[in-house]
Homo-oligomer: A and B are copies of this chain.
Amino acid sequence: MSKRKISIEDIARRAGVSHSTVSRALRDNSLISPQVREEIKKIAREMNYVPNAVAQSLQNKRTNTIGVVVTSIADPFFAEVVEGIEQVARSAGLSVLLSTSHRDFEQELAAIDSFHRRRVDGILVADSRISKHHTQQLAQIAVPIVFLNSQTQELPEMFHIVTIDDFLGARLAVEHLVSLGHTSIGYLGVGDRSRSNHQRLEGYRIALKEAGVLPKTDWVALSDEEHGRTDDVAIAQQLLPELFKTGVTGIFCYNDMVAVGAMLACQELGISIPQDLSLVGFDGIALSRYVTPPLTTVCQPMLELGRSAMQMLLDLLQEKNVENLVLSPFLVQRGSSAELMANG
């Protein structure tokens, strides 16, 4: 932004009109004679004029920009979500500012604050860690905020949410294993994703109960909070041996990366999948199709999640009424799950 650029003043001077006439011409305002308009446009083109969006924003009180916070871009899940967001944003003429929170509360707030200063028109936050204590602070921002798969247990009513139905997803996974004859079914989870982990665990419990199975307490393996920062694959590799010893014949994993970790551990232990153990993942990232055996998993419509959230934000920007959205995951059966063997 250093070098002096052509402004409407420059064009005005060259065209022998006032700068407001130029402004009108460029914006196709009706109160202007067609000839002058075309002439001005021609001059603008010749001078390589590029409108200054910063000045426009200051005047219009709109930046045509939205802010997006995700925990990590390198995570295939969020990458897909952001892809969906960007598609819709772009087709609506909005640019997206991207920031990462690394599941850290402070960083999330810092990102939102930065968006606030930049006066974005709206904000999208995935996997938010924000709690109701910050309601006040967020309310100040005065632009619509939509949360995607919020991890906060209870979010004030004033916020808008698009979530995946974790509870349903967990049930689909467990019911699938039950339908294959499994009754000893474990849950391999992670410690730090409060809401989604809880919901999936709850779905697991209810589904087992409905199948008439009383789950043993050691069928549920969760990493300590401390491991929260380590990667899911490693956590699962570490947790699987113990879990397998409890005699489970099927495991519902918190997500696909956890399932991959479980697979690796099984490989090392000589446990064959799905013969000795059936595995079900969650998310449906590309990777799940390419591991061996391909992973049976509960797919989240990731692109759709991003698209819907962005669409909701668009509606909010047009002051439409919107309702919170719960998207349904669906099971994709692949090679990692099979009928319980007689010797299971």
Select one of B54, B72, B86, B114 contacting A100, CB under 8 A. Answer: B86
Please tell me which one of the listed residues B2, B54, B99 contacts residue A54 in the complex, with CB atoms under 8 A apart: B54
Answer yes or no: A32 CB below 8 A from chain B CBs. Answer: no
**Once the chains bind, are B86 and A53 in contact (CB under 8 Å)?**
no
Pick the residue among B74, B119, B121 that contacts A83 (CB under 8 A): B74
| Cβ contacts under 8 Å, A121 to chain B | 1
8 Å CB contacts to B: which residues of A112-159? 113-114, 116-121, 140, 142-143
Query: A114: which of B95, B97, B113 is its contact (CB, 8 Å)?
Result: B95
Residue of B nearest to A6 (CB): B140
Please state if B61 and A2 are interface contacts (CB–CB under 8 Å). yes
Interface contact B74-A100, CB-CB below 8 Å: no
Interface string of A233-260 (1 = CB under 8 A from B): 1000000000000000000000000001
Cβ of A196 under 8 Å from chain B: no
Query: Interface with B: A168-176, A181-189, A285-293, A307-315, which one?
Result: A285-293
A55 to B120, CA, bound (A): 13
Binds B, one of A20-28, A44-52, A205-213: A44-52
Closest to A80 in B: B74
* Contact among B50, B58, B76, B90 with A99 in the assembled complex (CB-CB below 8 Å): B90
The interface residues of chain B lying within 8 Å CB-to-CB of A90 are: 99-100
Interface assignment of A305: CB less than 8 Å from any CB of chain B:
no
A120 to B73, CA, bound (A): 21
List residues of chain B with CB within 8 A of the CB of A324.
none
Of the candidates B51, B98, B260, the one whose C-beta lies within 8 Å of that of A96 is B98
Of residues 300 to 322 in A, which have CB atoms within 8 Å of B's CB atoms?
303
Q: Which of A262-283 contact B (CB under 8 A)?
A: 263-264
Q: How far is the CA of A52 from the CA of B95 in the complex (A)?
A: 18
A 81-117 to B, binary, CB cutoff 8 A, 1 in contact else 0: 0110010001000011111100000000000011011
Is A229 an interface residue when CB atoms closer than 8 A count as contact? no
A43 CB within 8 Å of chain B: no
Is A62 an interface residue, CB under 8 A from the partner? yes
A292 to B293, CA, bound (A): 9
User: Taking the nearest CB of chain B, how far is it from the CB of A233, in angstroms?
Assistant: 8
| A53-B117, A79-B73, A79-B79 known; A3+B260 contact, CB < 8 A | no
Tell which of B53, B114, B264 touches A119, judged by Cβ atoms closer than 8 Å. Answer: B53
- A57 close to chain B: CB less than 8 A: yes
Is the C-beta of A297 less than 8 angstroms from some C-beta in chain B?
no
Supply 7 A–B pairs (Cβ within 8 Å), ascending by A.
A73-B83, A76-B76, A90-B100, A260-B290, A263-B290, A287-B287, A291-B291
> A residues engaging B (CB < 8 A)?
1-3, 5, 48, 50-55, 57-58, 61-63, 65, 72-76, 79-80, 82-83, 86, 90, 95-100, 113-114, 116-121, 140, 142-143, 233, 260, 263-264, 286-287, 290-292, 303
Known: A55-B58, A74-B82, A95-B99. 18 other contacts (CB 8 A): A1-B57, A1-B119, A2-B61, A50-B140, A51-B117, A54-B119, A65-B97, A65-B118, A72-B83, A73-B73, A74-B76, A76-B286, A86-B100, A90-B100, A96-B97, A97-B97, A97-B98, A260-B290
